[in-house]
Structure 1
Amino acid sequence: MSPLTALTYVLPHRLLSSLARKLAYSTHPKTKQWLIDTVVRNFGVDLSEAAEPDPSAYPTFNAFFTRALKPGARTPDPDPRALLMPADGRVSECGHIGHADEGVLHEDAGHVFQAKGHGFTTAELLADEAAAEAFDGGVYATVYLSPKDYHRVHMPWTGTLRETVHVPGRLFSVGPDAVGAVSKLFARNERLVCHFDTDFGPMAVVMVGALLVSGVETVWSGVEIPPYGGPVTVKDYRGENIRLERFAEMARFNYGSTVIVLLPKGVAELASHLSAESPVRLGQQLARLS
C-alpha cells in the first residue's frame, strides 16, 4: 500500500469532496482555467474528440469534465446481440459472479473480485440481498474512468428504470493502488445503484463515487450525489416508464470513478478480449447475449 493510499484511511473524505465540488463549479476565470489546464496537461486529455475542443470555452471545470463528445466520436458495436461498454476507461476486473460452492467467502451470495484477491458480495455492493440473488452465477465488469476519460455513462442495453438505491459510504480513491489495497473498496464507497428491467431480465449499473468526486447525476433525476452520507435512499420508478435505449446516455460523473455492470446467469458471455487492465471505449462489446 502506498503512503498516499494509507493516508486516505484518515482523511476527511466528505469534507475534501465537498471542497472539490466548490472548486469544480467555480466560475472564477483563473481558478477554472488552472484546473482545466492542469488536467489536460497532466493526463493527456484528447480534446479533438470533444464537441467543444477549446479548453477556455468551458464556464467551469465541471462543465469541462463532463464535456460532450462530437457526434460519431463513439459508435455502438454493430452486432445487435452485443451489450455495450458503458464508458471509456480501463477494466479493473471482469468475470463470473461466484457461487458458494466455488469456495468463496460467503455462503449465501454471489462474489465478485475487485483486484489482487480482494472481493465482495453482490449483496454488499447493492445493499440488498434479495436484489443480489438475481445476479448469482451471472457476469460482471468493472470499468475505471481516469481523469482523462469521457465521463458520461451510457446504457449497455435497452432497459426500463425500476429503482435507484443511493448507498452512503466512504470516498476512497478508486485508482489502481487503492483498488489493490483497500478491502471491499467498491462495496464501501458511496454509490448509486441503478436497477433496470430488460428483455432478458434485470440489469444493474452501479456508479461508484471516489475521493474528490463532486457528484453523480442521472438523466432522469439530475444530481443524486451529493448529498453525501445519510441513510440508504431508495427511489421507486415503477410505473413511470423511464425507458433508455441501448447506447443512450444514462448518467455522468464529476471526476474519475468506476462503473460496475451486473448481468444475470445464463444471459450473456463477456467479450473474449476483455481482461483485467484492458483499455476500453464506450460502445465496444462488453458481452454478447447467449
Structure 2
Amino acid sequence: MTKSFMRLLTELSSRKWISQITGAFAKSKLSKAMIPTFARMYGINVAEAEKALHEYSTLNEFFTRRLKTGSRMVDNTEHALVSSVDAVITGIGSISEGTVFNVKGQDYTVEELLNRSPREVNYKNGFCFVLYLSPTDYHRIHSPVSGKVLETEHVPGKVYPVNEFGLRHMTRVLSRNERLITFIRHEHGEVAVVKVGALNVSSIKYAAEKLPDRLTRGDELAYFEFGSTVVLLTESGTFTPDPSLTLGSKVRMGQRLGTFSPASEESEEKDV
C-alpha cells in the first residue's frame, strides 16, 4: 500500500465525528468485555492499575485509569523539569528563533503550536520535548513543574494519528490537531504543556472541572482518552536538558528531563 494512499485514508478518517463514534463505543458497557483482550494485546502492566480489571465498567474507564500509589516516583531534585507522562521521546531539541526543528523530518513553529498566543515570544529560543504515548502507556498527564497556572486554551482541530506514520508523512499534525494548552509559571520562568489529540482520541480532559490556581510538580493535570502526544516547551534561556535523553528514549511520569536556571532579567520582570 503506497504512502500516498495511506495518507488519503488518514485524511478521510481525520474527521472528529469518527473519533467521537469510537469514543462512544469505548464509553459504553459493551466495551467492558474487550478490556482483558486490550490489556494483553498491548502488554499493559495491569498490576500497576488502581483497580482490578473486572472493576472497570468500560474500556475508556480502564484506558484512563489511575495507578496505585507509589507506582511512579516524582523526581525531587531542586529546579527539575519532570516528564508529564509515560512516553517515548519523538522530538527533542533547542528552539531557534521560534522554530522547532526536525520532528520526524518536519519543522514546526512555536507560533503554530501555541495557536498564535501572545505568550509565544517567551519560547522563541527555549527547549522542546515531544512525548508520544502509545496505547500501552499510562494516559494521565501530570504537571512537570510547581507553579502558578497562568492561562489555558482549547484549540479545535483535526484528529490525525501522531504515531510514526502520522508525524513523518502527514503535514504538521502537531499543529493541526486538536490541542489543550496549559501555561504554568514556575520560579525560573514558564512552561507550556501542549496536549495534542489524535486519531480515535474522542477528547482531552482536565483532571478537575476547574484547575487550581497553583500546581505542585507531579499533580494530575489532564488525561487522554486513547493514545496521543504531549509537547513540552520551556522558556528561552532557562533550561538545560538531561544529557542522557535522546530521540527514542523511553521516559516515565515524574522522571527528570533536565533542570532550570534563573531566567533573564527581562523574563523575571514579567507579570506572574
Same fold (TM over 0.5): yes
Within 1, Cα distance between the matches of 2:215 and 2:245?
A: 25
Question: Residue 206 of structure 2 aligns with which residue?
Answer: 218
Deviations 1:101-143 (A, max 9, x none): xxxxxxxxx0113533201101001112521110011101010
Instruction: Say if 2:83 is the partner of 1:85.
Output: yes
Within 1, Cα distance between the matches of 2:160 and 2:128?
A: 21
2:166 is paired with a residue whose SS is helix
**How does the TM-score come out when normalised to structure 2?**
0.90
Within 1, Cα distance between the matches of 2:142 and 2:102?
A: 22
Q: Name the amino acid aligned to 2:68.
A: K
Structure 1 residue aligned with 2:69, among 56, 71, 74? 71
Written as runs of structure 1 = structure 2, the 5 A alignment for 1:248-287 is 248-287=219-258
Percent identity reads 36
User: How far is the alpha carbon of 1:12 from its aligned partner?
Assistant: 5.0
Question: Residue 164 of structure 1 aligns with which residue?
Answer: 152
Structure 1 residue aligned with 2:92, among 88, 91, 94? 94
2:12 is paired with a residue whose SS is coil
Structure 2 residue aligned with 1:20, among 19, 22, 30? 22
**How does the TM-score come out when normalised to structure 1?**
0.85
| Count of residue pairs the alignment pairs up | 259
Question: Residue 33 of structure 2 aligns with which residue?
Answer: 33
1:286 is paired with a residue whose SS is strand
Within 2, Cα distance between the matches of 1:5 and 1:91?
A: 23
Within 2, Cα distance between the matches of 1:12 and 1:94?
A: 26
1:8 is paired with a residue whose SS is helix
1:63 is paired with a residue whose SS is helix
Q: Name the amino acid aligned to 1:285.
A: R
Any unmatched runs of 5+ in structure 2?
262-272
Question: Residue 218 of structure 2 aligns with which residue?
Answer: 247
Q: Runs of at least 4 residues of structure 1 off by over 4 A? A: none
1:87 is paired with a residue whose SS is coil
Deviations 1:49-85 (A, max 9, x none): 1111x22210111110011111111001231221101
1:252 is paired with a residue whose SS is strand
User: How far is the alpha carbon of 1:5 from its aligned partner?
Assistant: 4.2
Question: Residue 225 of structure 1 aligns with which residue?
Answer: none
Within 2, Cα distance between the matches of 1:167 and 1:138?
A: 22
Within 2, Cα distance between the matches of 1:213 and 1:2?
A: 23
Written as runs of structure 1 = structure 2, the 5 A alignment for 1:128-207 is 128-207=116-195
Q: Name the amino acid aligned to 2:259.
A: R
Deviations 1:177-222 (A, max 9, x none): 1111112110010111111222222211011000110211113427
Give the alignment's Cα RMSD to 1 decimal.
Answer: 1.7
2:69 is paired with a residue whose SS is coil
2:47 is paired with a residue whose SS is helix
2:81·2:259 contact (CA, 8 Å) conserved in 1?
A: yes
User: How far is the alpha carbon of 1:2 from its aligned partner?
Assistant: 7.4
Q: Name the amino acid aligned to 1:176.
A: E
1:50·1:69 contact (CA, 8 Å) conserved in 2?
A: yes
Q: 1:7 to 1:87 in 2, by over 3 A?
A: same
